């Protein structure tokens, strides 16, 4: 089992690395032009139909159907 000092050192390293990565990410995002953002967005693929709200549907019936379907041999 690791000592408390090792765990604290690991946590400190992890925290420092996370902060450094967030700083780099923020700089990269701030440096992007609108055109670059649009190009990235256009390359994203959606493999499913977009979500559409159905105010009269909670999803519970569909969920139960899926659960019961899975139980069938």
59 φ/ψ sector (left φ>0, alpha ψ -120 to 50, else beta): left
Asked, for residue 59, whether it belongs to a domain, the answer is: no
Q: Is the dihedral of CA 56, 60, 63, 64 positive or negative?
A: negative
Query: pLDDT tens digits, residue range 16-70?
Result: 999 999 999 999 999 999 999 988 888 887 666 666 666 677 778 888 888 888 7
| pLDDT of residue 1 exceeding 60 | no
CA-to-CA distance for 14 and 10, rounded, in angstroms?
6
Asked, for residue 26, whether it belongs to a domain, the answer is: yes
CA-to-CA distance for 2 and 8, rounded, in angstroms?
10
Asked, for residue 38, whether it belongs to a domain, the answer is: yes
The closest alpha carbon to 21, from 10, 33, 11, 13, belongs to 13
Full residue range of the structural domain in which residue 29 is found:
10-43
Q: How many domains does the chain have?
A: 1
């Amino acid at each position: 089992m690791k000592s408390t000092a090792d765990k604290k050192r690991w946590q400190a390293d992890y925290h420092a690395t996370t902060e450094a990565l967030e700083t780099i990410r923020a700089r990269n995002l701030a440096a992007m032009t609108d055109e670059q953002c649009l190009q990235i967005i256009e390359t994203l693929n959606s493999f499913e139909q977009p979500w559409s709200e159905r105010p009269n549907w909670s999803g519970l019936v569909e969920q139960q159907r899926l659960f019961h379907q899975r139980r069938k041999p």
